[in-house]
């Protein structure tokens, strides 16, 4: 088998969000394993570790022309991809999140002369299928890019099935689950709890997301308001999006003293290690990287039983999973974990074990390497 180091281009969103976090972690790990990794995006991905000698970043510059009512990203991205692929003789272009990355990668490949064309791998992350895949303005282009990719992966079996069902692609889709490699926390658990105003004896509940409508923050807030003995806990919301539209409901439910908001957090590990329970109330979720992030710190989660989440954690073992939209069920599950230290700690230990056994870097990154070698051998 070919074991030479590969030259890999990774295309991803650079901002806060699971697909960019996963792509950054993958690039860092591939470089640590001897591969040369080129990130191509409009900004340097915020999660990339500094100083990794085999990791390069190539910014996509976007010109603005008066003629354009809407700026175009796909064409400058595809031109940059073709340029980087040719200059660095890339073996693979790996698009994370289909829109518009997979389309740009396919276009870049066809711009290059034969013999100089990298293989294109597309990883579907979630709403590229479940939301945009339902939009007639996007679906045919997504379907075409997936059919033209040399390999397509989905981050859960749920997402693989949904991609066949919603977009109607016929081709094989490999499932490679997400992984999370935590960085060391910068501060102690005690220091972070003090910063958040968590009193001795109080528990800390954590929510971490981009706060988009699918996360159903309304359900989470209604659930928190129904948990008995509210003085027992504080809630930290690590917001990767605007929380402003939820402030009215926070006031209406009298949660002002319970919820602490933190925006633009760069070291999430500080808060993950300080939390006792995670809470996630999404209506749909292909994987929910945040549950895995919390699990890595022995923090069990209460979550809605949707999408790929049952592949990530098992109900009543490593998490408590409840029906979507059911704030009373979320509140009941939170109350159970907040009331029973032994149960919470045992569930947290199982969550951490499951995270390490099934979703570790050591387990998942070689699956991507094997996929790259497979498409290059085809």
| 148 forms part of the interface with ligand GMT (CB under 6 A) | no
| 287 forms part of the interface with ligand GMT (CB under 6 A) | yes
| 289 forms part of the interface with ligand GMT (CB under 6 A) | yes
Query: Of the candidates 14, 126, 300, 348, which one interacts with ligand GMT according to CB under 6 A?
Result: 126
Query: Of the candidates 107, 142, 205, 214, which one interacts with ligand GMT according to CB under 6 A?
Result: 214
CB 3 within 8 A of CB 369: no
Size of the site for ligand GMT (CB under 6 A): 19
Beta bridge partners of 234: 204
Classify residue 155 by burial, with Cβ atoms within 10 Å: 0-12, 13-18, 19+.
buried
Closer to ligand GMT by Cβ: residue 149 or 284: 284
Could you tell me the CA-to-CA distances from 188 to 184, 272, 277, 296, 341 in Å, in that order? 10, 11, 18, 16, 21
The pairing of strands 92-96 and 174-175 is unpaired
Q: Least Å distance between CB 97 and ligand GMT?
A: 6
Query: Of the candidates 29, 276, 285, 311, which one interacts with ligand GMT according to CB under 6 A?
Result: 285
CB 62 within 8 A of CB 10: no
Pairwise CA distance, residues 3 & 172, whole Å: 25
| 286 forms part of the interface with ligand GMT (CB under 6 A) | yes
Closer to ligand GMT by Cβ: residue 176 or 235: 176
Both tokens of 138, joined, read: 């996007």
CB 289 within 8 A of CB 179: no
Could you tell me the CA-to-CA distances from 273 to 48, 51, 124, 182, 264 in Å, in that order? 21, 25, 29, 10, 18
Stretch that binds ligand GMT, among 16-24, 199-207, 254-262, 335-343 (CB under 6 A): 16-24
Closer to ligand GMT by Cβ: residue 255 or 365: 365
Site string for ligand GMT, 353-372 (x = CB under 6 A): --------------------
Closer to ligand GMT by Cβ: residue 41 or 127: 127
Residues that bind ligand GMT (CB under 6 A): 17-20, 22, 125-127, 130, 155, 178, 210, 214, 284-289
């Amino acid at each position: 088998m070919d074991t030479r180091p590969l030259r890999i281009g990774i295309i991803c969103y650079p901002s806060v969000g699971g697909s960019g976090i996963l792509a950054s972690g993958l690039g860092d790990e591939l470089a640590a394993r001897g591969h040369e990794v080129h990130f191509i995006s409009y900004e340097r991905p915020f999660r990339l570790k500094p100083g990794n000698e085999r990791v390069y970043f190539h910014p996509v510059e976007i010109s603005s022309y008066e003629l354009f009512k809407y700026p175009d990203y796909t064409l400058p991205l595809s031109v940059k991809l073709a340029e980087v692929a040719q200059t660095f003789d890339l073996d693979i272009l790996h698009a994370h999140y289909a829109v518009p990355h997979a389309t740009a990668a396919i276009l870049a490949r066809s711009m290059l002369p034969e013999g100089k064309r990298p293989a294109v791998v597309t990883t579907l992350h979630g709403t590229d299928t479940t939301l945009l895949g339902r939009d007639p303005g996007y679906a045919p282009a997504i379907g075409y890019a997936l059919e033209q990719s040399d390999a397509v992966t989905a981050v859960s079996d749920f997402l693989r099935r949904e991609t066949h069902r919603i977009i109607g692609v016929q081709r094989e889709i490999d499932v490679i689950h997400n992984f999370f490699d935590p960085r060391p926390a910068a501060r102690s658990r005690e220091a972070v709890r003090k910063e958040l105003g968590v009193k001795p004896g109080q528990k800390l509940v954590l929510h971490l997301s981009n706060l988009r409508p699918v996360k159903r923050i309304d359900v989470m807030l209604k659930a928190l308001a129904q948990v008995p003995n509210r003085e027992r806990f504080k809630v930290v919301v690590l917001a990767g999006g605007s929380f402003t539209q939820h402030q009215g409901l926070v006031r209406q439910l009298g949660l002002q003293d319970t919820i602490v908001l933190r925006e633009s957090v760069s070291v999430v590990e500080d808060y993950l290690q300080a939390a006792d329970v995670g809470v996630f109330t999404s209506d749909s979720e292909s994987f929910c990287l945040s549950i895995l992030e919390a699990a890595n710190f022995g923090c069990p989660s209460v979550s809605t039983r949707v999408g790929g989440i049952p592949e990530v954690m098992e109900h009543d073992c490593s998490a408590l999973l409840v029906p979507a939209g059911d704030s009373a069920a979320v509140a009941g599950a939170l109350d159970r974990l907040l009331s029973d230290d032994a149960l919470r700690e045992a569930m947290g230990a199982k969550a951490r074990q499951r995270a390490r056994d099934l979703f570790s870097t050591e387990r998942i990154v070689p699956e991507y390497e094997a996929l790259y070698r497979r498409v290059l051998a085809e």
